[in-house]
Amino acid sequence: MPEDLDPVIHAPARLRVVASLAALGRGDELAFPKLRALLDMTAGNLSTHLRKLEDAGYVQVTKTHEGRMPATYLALTDKGRTAFADYQAALMDLLKGAQ
């Protein structure tokens, strides 16, 4: 059963990243510092997890400039949204099985 749970999402830190981004509307992006503050993670730690999520195709990382300052925006991809929905459905199945 646990192999039904997506290992990319099933790590507490990445789960919180994905859950936060899934709370945004489709087509919305969140600035890196805002996400970092929301998760209370260090920038290095968050970057590491974001890279894994990006490699899996779950998160889209957009690097841009605001004035002269570089800015990074994160968004859940459609693939990421589907993976998160599947993950939650798998958890619900596990809960029902446990009762």
Partner 1 sequence: MVSDPTAGTPAGAGQDGDGGALDAAETLRLIREQQERARDATGPDGRLLFGAWGLAWLIGYLAMWTTARTAGLPAAWAGWVFAGCIVGAMVFTIVHSVTRTAGVRGVSARIGAMYGWTWFLAFLGLGVLLGAMGRAGAEPEIMAIAANGFAALITGLLYIAGGMLFEEYRMSAVGGWMLVTAVVAAFAGMPHTYLVMALAGGGGFLAMAVVEHVLRRRRRSTSARTEGGVRSA
Q: Min. distance of Cβ 25 from partner 1 in angstroms?
A: 5
Residues 45/13, Cβ–Cβ less than 8 Å: yes
User: Which residues in the 19-78 window bind partner 1 by CB under 8 A?
Assistant: 19-31, 33-35, 37-38, 49, 73, 75
Nearer to partner 1, 34 or 68 (CB): 34
Q: What is the Cα–Cα distance from 18 to 22, expressed in whole angstroms?
A: 6
Q: CA dihedral defined by 17, 28, 77, 71, rounded to 10 degrees? A: -70
Q: Min. distance of Cβ 4 from partner 1 in angstroms?
A: 9
- Taking CB under 8 A as the criterion, the residue among 11, 41, 60, 81 binding partner 1 is 11
